[in-house]
Each structure stands twice: as structure tokens, then as C-alpha cells.
Structure 1
Amino acid sequence: MHFRTFLKHERICQREDRLRAPERASFERSTARRALRGVAVAIALAVLSVPGWAQTADDLAKQYKMETMEQALQTKERYELYGLRFASDQATIEGDAKTLLDDIATTLGNYPEWHLRIVGHTDATADPAHNEALSLARADAIKAALVERGVDAQKLATAGAGEKRPVASNDTPEGRALNRRVELIRFTDSEAAKQLLKSMSDYLAKQQAISFDYDANLEVVTNDKQTLALASSGTVTLNRPDKVRTTRSGGFVDLETVFDGKTLTLLGKNANKYTQLEVPGTVEQIIDELRNKYDRPLPAADLLTSDAYAALMEDVYDSKDLGSGVIHGIECDFVAFRKDDVDLQVWIRQGDQPSPCKYVIASRLVADGPQYTVEFTNWKTGDAAVKDDFAFSNPTNAEKIDLKDLQDKTSELPSNFVRGDSK
């Protein structure tokens, strides 16, 4: 499963005839970016949809103390900063921000090992794309001001969230003022963690043939906040550049996917039906096609591309080397990475064959952090990999049907689970 595909499954409403709760807003995306925005807005409004505000942006700016900022960055690794003012719809820092900028520079001087991410936020009064660009420009302006004060630019990162992560309603002037803020995030930039991931990626890319078994768990959150895990197991056999066979069996699905370089076959064993598509291309093209067009992601798809490092590191701002762990009796290096939308954890076999042992994607934008976990066993490469002719066989005389009909019969979710409407 690709981490963007995982976001589609984060929020699921459960329906039972004998215990039917009122419908609530849940979170799915028609595209990754729309969903991330919608989830954040819904969470914020659910928490803060009360008349009036306990504290205004001006109150928070007046209460600011450098010691409070330092303590928050040290203990919580983040601080919401008010009082850094900009000219209207501009990225020009106004003159009264000098003290705040001096304090940030001094704090970083006091803690030279720290790295700081500066995230700009806006209200929703303008076009979303404009707001995102404006918030990034403002974060960049703060970074430039800190560099002028002697801060090492390599220790600073910037991002623009625009209006996507409000802390209050945009329906009132007070709420909009609270949404216009600067978020400071202390982060770790571990070269060791990145090098371990890069070594795994390079090793995987060199393998012409790969096969492995896997056990996966997709956690979902119901309307009444119960976390449930949908378990499945399967196999993957891959021959680069253009052949792959995967199976996935769970309590609600038994699916086989075969691609022989020209024809893609999807077989729903539980329904005894299949469909075929003529889509010549490479394994990577099929991974994208299955994920984006047919909503049928291959297991651990991020790791099967020719550059897993690039796929996993996109938008990562925090990386940690967390030592080692043992997965199925194999000692593995343990690394973790953070993006705005998800946390990633990877356990990598130690030694000269750094294959993945375990992979976890956890949501950061949905309460309770639902997550997808896959563990690998019987990992083999080269001549030791499982041999396969990648030809589709039909020993059960499965019926051939259209793709849309097969999709209805091979959902990985049970019938009493439904995804919520797009937000």
C-alpha cells in the first residue's frame, strides 16, 4: 500500500442494523491533497465550533515569553507563535517583529543541536493556492531574517500550510486572526537514518527478481472511536522490469493480481470472477495504474519502485535513527520519518542484504492515528526468488466480467463497513 492510498482508508463509518448511530462527517479523499485539507478542517471545527474564543490572537501575542517558547520547543517540539506580523497579503515582516526574531535566533544559539522548521499559516479569505504560496513566502522571509542574525541556514526548513490546518473557524474575525500564525517545529535531521534508508533502496533497485510473504494490518476507526484492525496475508513475486504476481487473503477478500508485461489480470477468488486489461508497461507503471486508477494498490508499493528512497522521502522533514530491533528473529536497524500527513517507520535487515523487515504508516491528521503495518517474511532475491511464468491460469473456470463489477466484489472491507463521504 502506498502511503497516499493509506489516507483513503483512515476514517471509516461502521453501520449495524441493530445499533445504527447518527451519520457523522468522516474523511476520505478524491485526491490526496483535497482529503488532507478536508480532514484538518473537520477536526479543527469539531473541536473549536463554540461561540467566542477563550483567547484572541492579540491575547496570545501579549502573553508571549521567550522562556515559554524555549520550554515548548524543548518538551513538545513545537510552538504556535503570534505577534510576527506581515504587511497585508505580503511577505514583508513588519518592524515590530524584531524582538521575536532576536529571541528565536538566541534560542537556536542556546541549543546549537536543534533544527527548526518554520511553517506559515493563513486564514481562508483568499484562494487556497494563493494562501499556500503566501504562507510559504512568509516562512521563507522569517528564515532569511534568522540567517541575517547568524543562524545556520542548514538548520532551518520552511513550509507553507496556507489555510489547510486551521485552529479556529474562519467565519469570524477572531477565528481568522487565530489561524494567521507561525508554527515553529523542532526536528531531527539524521544523516544516519537517511543513509540506512538509501542503502535499502539501492539494494532493492539492484534486484532483478524478488519474492516475499507478508502479513498486513489496516487499522480503521469507527464512528464511535473504536479502533479495529483488518488483517490480511499474501505473497509478492516480482521480475523487473515488467512482471509481477501478488496475492492477498483476508477475512473479506481473496485477490490475485498478475501482470505479464502486456496484460493485467485481477482475479477475485472469493467471487470466482476475473477481469483483464491490456496495459503494457513496466512494474512501476502498473503500480501507479493500480493505485491511482483502479484503487488496487500492491502491498508495500512504495518499496517496489526503482527508487524507494525518493518515494518515501518526499516531503519528509524529520528523520531519526532509533537503534535496532528484532523482527521475526532478524536484527534490524530501526528508522523513523515524519511528514505533515503521516509518520513512517521502517525496520531494515542489518548486513549486506538490507531488505525491509517491517513497514508502518501512521496518520497524523486523524484522531487516534490509524495506521497500516506490513511485516515481511521469506524475503528472497535473485536465483533464490520464487520462480513464476506470470501466466494467468483459470483452473476454477472463473467468470470474466468488467472491472467495475469486479471491484464491487473484491473490496478489502466487510459489507458492514463503509467509507464516509468525501469532505
Structure 2
Amino acid sequence: MRVEKRFTMLALASATLAFGMPVMAQDSKPATTSAKTEAASDIDADAIEALNKMGAALRALKEFSIASSTTQEIVLETGEKIQLDGFVDWKVRQPNALYVDVRSDRKNREFFYDGKDLTIYSPILKFYTSIDSVNGNLRDLVLKASNDYGIELPLTDLFLWGTDDVSDDLIKSAMVVGPGTINDDKVDHYAFRQEGVDWQVWISQTTSLPAKLVITSLDDPARPQYTARLNWDTTATFEDSAFKFVPPEGAHKISFEPDSMAAASAEGEGS
């Protein structure tokens, strides 16, 4: 059995928000004051404030690109971990246009969204499939793709953080690790824990944008990690054609099924 998970704050937040608060039995006792105090002591207000500031910076962006290098750990049946390196390039125009190029050691996918239709293309296999008439902003696209079709774009937390879809109430602990430097940029390093996951973020002191993310799954004893280093260009501009898919010569359209592109991969690209 192949074990592969997408360890992102979005996946965690979606699962937690779907279940909501746990239902308490009628004879259960309320949490004690000491327990509440202990929980509160695990939350550094400065770390939460940094997240809120990051969210505001993300929401203020109108047009930008991100070039990110990624490392994902995969846990084999034997418990052995292997690492897969990759790259994710984003072109984004708010409120409703994006292009994403996802490349790894095992596969390559391109995602086009022009404000109406989402198209997924495999340059290696030359197969593409579309979800027509999404007709929403990028927040709507992210949630619809995930909830309705099981499509998880990498780093889509960037479109949800700072909105009502992600709540810092989910955070069990938050700490300020300290200052650092990434690519000559001064950053502040923070660490957080939520149900089933630990995650770290390095936030630029200059822009308040995330420069690096590390997400660690606690559900697997091997504790696999996902790491992304983010290089931002907030001055980028794009033509409409950057977000519109035009089938290249030799490309073939396949009907959309949640696992259709995965099935295509099994035929010859790797998974």
C-alpha cells in the first residue's frame, strides 16, 4: 500500500471545521479552571499576532508569483521514510485567476483557472481534464476543489489564512522560536501545534509573508514532514493568457473523475 498524505494547515483546518466542536455528554463535567489556565499558558500571544499580521499581508496581495522548492517525506509499509523533492510555481491574480505548475521527482501537473473553469494538465502524458463553471474567487475555488472533488492544490492555505475559514482557536500551542535569516532576508521563526499536526513558519520581518513552512504529521509514528521554501515576487504582472488553458498539439481530454489523473499516472508517469 502506498502511503501519501498532503500535510498542510488547509487539510487540518478543513477536517476540524467539518466536525466542529465535540458534543459533550450531559453528565460530563466542564473543564477546570486550572486546565484552561494551563492550555492558555501554551499560547504565546506574540506568535498568534504574527499569524494575524501574516494573514493581513496575504489578503492585501493582488497580483504575485511564488517559486517554491518542496520536500515531502513518504512512509513505506516497512516504516522507512523516503524524500521526494519538487517545485511549485504560482502565478496569481486576485480575485479569481491562477496558474500552478507542480513538479516533483514522480510527476508533473499544471493547473489553470481563468475565473470560470479549472483545467488540470499532465505535460508528460498529454492528458487534461476540466471542471467547468466553477465561477468563483480563489477562496471558493480552493474550497470547492477540496470539498467537492478531492483536489488539493499545494500551499492553498495562502488563500485562506486571514479569513474566517481558518481559526486560530484550532491552535493548541504557539511559541516564538526566534529570529533567523533565509536567503539574506531577516525572518522570525514560530512553532505551532494543532490536533494531529505540528507546523512551523518563518515569516519575513520586511513583508510579513511566509518564507518557509514545515508541517509534521503526528498521526503516523514515523512523523513524516512536508517542507516548502517560498520565494515571492509581489511586483509580477500577467496577461490573461497566463491563466487560460489552450490544449497543445497532441493533448487529449479525458472526462473528469476524482482519481482520473491518478489513474492516468499509473499508466506511465509514476505516482
Q: 1:375 aligns with which of 215, 229, 233?
A: 229
Alignment of structure 1 residues 11-410 onto 2, 5 Å: 32=15, 133-134=24-25, 137-138=28-29, 140-143=30-33, 146=34, 155-157=37-39, 188-278=42-132, 279-305=134-160, 307=162, 311=166, 313-351=168-206, 353-377=207-231, 379-381=232-234, 384-389=235-240, 390-404=243-257, 405-410=260-265
Q: Percent identity?
A: 24
Secondary structure (helix, strand or coil) at the match of 2:32 reads: helix
Task: Say whether the 8 Å CA contact 1:345–1:360 is kept in structure 2.
Answer: yes
The Cα shift of 1:359 comes to 0.8
Task: Say whether the 8 Å CA contact 1:211–1:380 is kept in structure 2.
Answer: yes
- The structure number with the bigger radius of gyration is 1
Q: Which runs of 5+ in 2 are unaligned?
A: 1-5
Counterpart for residue 3 of structure 1: 9
Task: Say whether the 8 Å CA contact 2:10–2:156 is kept in structure 1.
Answer: no
The Cα shift of 1:375 comes to 0.9
Are the structure 2 counterparts of residues 223 and 407 from structure 1 closer, same or farther at C-alpha, using a change threshold of 3 Å? closer
The Cα shift of 1:372 comes to 1.2
Secondary structure (helix, strand or coil) at the match of 1:133 reads: coil
CA distance in 1, matches of 2:239, 2:72: 28
CA distance in 2, matches of 1:312, 1:368: 28
CA distance in 1, matches of 2:161, 2:250: 36
Where does structure 1 differ by over 6 angstroms across 4 or more consecutive aligned residues? none
**RMSD after superposition:** 2.9
CA distance in 2, matches of 1:395, 1:362: 38
Secondary structure (helix, strand or coil) at the match of 1:372 reads: strand
The Cα shift of 1:335 comes to 0.7
The Cα shift of 1:187 comes to 5.0
Are the structure 2 counterparts of residues 32 and 305 from structure 1 closer, same or farther at C-alpha, using a change threshold of 3 Å? closer
The Cα shift of 1:141 comes to 4.3
More helix by share: 1
CA distance in 1, matches of 2:194, 2:12: 14
Please give the per-residue CA displacement for 1:339-381, whole angstroms capped at 9, x wherever unaligned.
1211110000112x1111001111122212111111112x022
Please give the per-residue CA displacement for 1:111-139, whole angstroms capped at 9, x wherever unaligned.
xxxxxxxxxxxxxxxxxx98x5239943x
Please give the per-residue CA displacement for 1:388-408, whole angstroms capped at 9, x wherever unaligned.
411112233310111223332
CA distance in 2, matches of 1:219, 1:315: 25
Please give the per-residue CA displacement for 1:269-317, whole angstroms capped at 9, x wherever unaligned.
1210101121111111111122233333222111122626862625102
CA distance in 1, matches of 2:237, 2:248: 21
CA distance in 2, matches of 1:321, 1:195: 11
Normalising by the residue count of structure 2, what TM-score does the alignment of the two structures yield?
A: 0.83
Please give the per-residue CA displacement for 1:234-289, whole angstroms capped at 9, x wherever unaligned.
21111111111101011221100011111111111121010112111111111112
Please give the per-residue CA displacement for 1:82-127, whole angstroms capped at 9, x wherever unaligned.
xxxxxxxxxxxxxxxxxxxxxxxxxxxxxxxxxxxxxxxxxxxxxx
Q: Which amino acid aligns with 1:276?
A: S
Q: Which runs of 5+ in 1 are unaligned?
A: 8-30, 37-128, 158-185, 418-423
Task: Say whether the 8 Å CA contact 2:172–2:193 is kept in structure 1.
Answer: yes
Q: Which amino acid aligns with 2:9?
A: F
Counterpart for residue 3 of structure 2: none
CA distance in 2, matches of 1:249, 1:201: 27
Task: Say whether the 8 Å CA contact 1:254–1:410 is kept in structure 2.
Answer: no
Q: Which amino acid aligns with 2:183?
A: H
Are the structure 2 counterparts of residues 388 and 397 from structure 1 closer, same or farther at C-alpha, using a change threshold of 3 Å? farther
Normalising by the residue count of structure 1, what TM-score does the alignment of the two structures yield?
A: 0.55
More strand by share: 2
Task: Say whether the 8 Å CA contact 1:380–1:386 is kept in structure 2.
Answer: no
Q: Which amino acid aligns with 1:385?
A: A
Task: Say whether the 8 Å CA contact 1:342–1:361 is kept in structure 2.
Answer: yes
Q: Which amino acid aligns with 1:198?
A: N
Task: Say whether the 8 Å CA contact 2:67–2:87 is kept in structure 1.
Answer: yes
Q: May I ask how many residue pairs the two structures share in their alignment?
A: 255
CA distance in 2, matches of 1:312, 1:3: 11
Task: Say whether the 8 Å CA contact 1:266–1:274 is kept in structure 2.
Answer: yes
